[in-house]
Amino acid sequence: MDELATLRALQSVKEHGTVTAAAAVLRLSPSAVSQQLKRLEKATGRSLLTPTGRRVALTPEAHALLDEAGPVLSRLEAILGVSSGRESQVVGHVRVAAFTTAIRHGALTAIAEVQDQHPQLTCSLAEMDPGEAYRALSAGMVDIAVTHHWQGQQAPVYPAITVSPLADNTADNTADDLVDDVADVICHRDHSLPESPGLEDLATYSWVSTGAGTICHSWLIHMFALHGHRPRITAEISDFALHVPFVAAGLGLALVPRLGRPELPGEVRVLELEDPPARKIGIALRTHQVNDNAISVVGAALRSRLRD
């Protein structure tokens, strides 16, 4: 079915970023894929691709076409038993977005390992706050997003995105069953705060936070607002590992998730809140790509490393 082949070619270019990579996955020549795309453009009367440096990007018309045809394409492939060429090999380019702590804690190692194990697979990595990562994933700008939201905070809901926990591969669109990353207060060792303070004990001190507009900055403000207070944020630093030197210098307090906590110097101590907050961490994919071979391999590697 020629129409099916042309749609599969467009879908593959979307997933892998270049005609050459798409051709390798589909086991066709680049010229054959280009011809299929030209036929699809002629049949639909839409301009489908636009060059972006050495890669190509789908036009809004192409994204709209795949949004309409994607579910039908997947169903037809299942009914007809059509192979996408991805089952027996791991080939292509996978774009990953992850928040700062996840990059430092395991994403870099996971990507290095998976590229070493699969020479025909390449990955790119972008640092993004979860909100930005969800938007990029929804828009087709990345293929995998390592995300988090704070327990008690509403997680973003995108109908075309599936979020799965680090613990296993069970899909959970509500993200209520994701891995917990508990956060503790870090203070200077000479600070007079009790070992298990309440928020009322912390309201008058200076704080370091991630940047305004980030999910963790919003959570810090929200956490205090629930008790009628507003934190006095005197520094904004994106990496939690750099919050510790701020505290060690005696400049204030920090709320640091354990995943993002480096080895602590002797100048600081850890205070566990009476009701410690926690982040829920998971892997987000576009739903129609959950069975893509390359994306599944990279997602599994990220899941494994981030659990360590």
| CB contact set of 147 (below 8 Å; sequence gap of 6+) | 99, 130, 133, 134, 163, 175, 281, 282, 283, 284
| CB contact set of 140 (below 8 Å; sequence gap of 6+) | 14, 58, 63, 286
Does residue 89 sit in helix, strand or coil?
Answer: coil
- Give the chain's domains with CATH numbers: 2-80 (1.10.10.10), 94-178+280-307 (3.40.190.10), 180-278 (3.40.190.10)
Which position has the token pair 């963790």? Answer: 216
The model carries a pTM of: 0.68
**247 or 34, higher pLDDT:** 247
Altogether, the residues listed in the chain come to a count of 308
- pLDDT, one tens digit per residue, over 177-223 is 456 789 999 999 999 998 888 888 898 999 999 999 999 999 999 99
- pLDDT, one tens digit per residue, over 103-135 is 998 999 999 999 999 998 999 999 999 999 999
Which position has the token pair 């602590």? Answer: 264
**124 or 169, higher pLDDT:** 124
* For range 146-175, the mean pLDDT: 71
Tell me which H or E stretch contains 71. helix 60-80
C-alpha–C-alpha distance, residues 37 and 99, integer Å: 35
Mean pLDDT computed over every residue of the chain: 84
Q: What is the pLDDT of residue 177?
A: 41
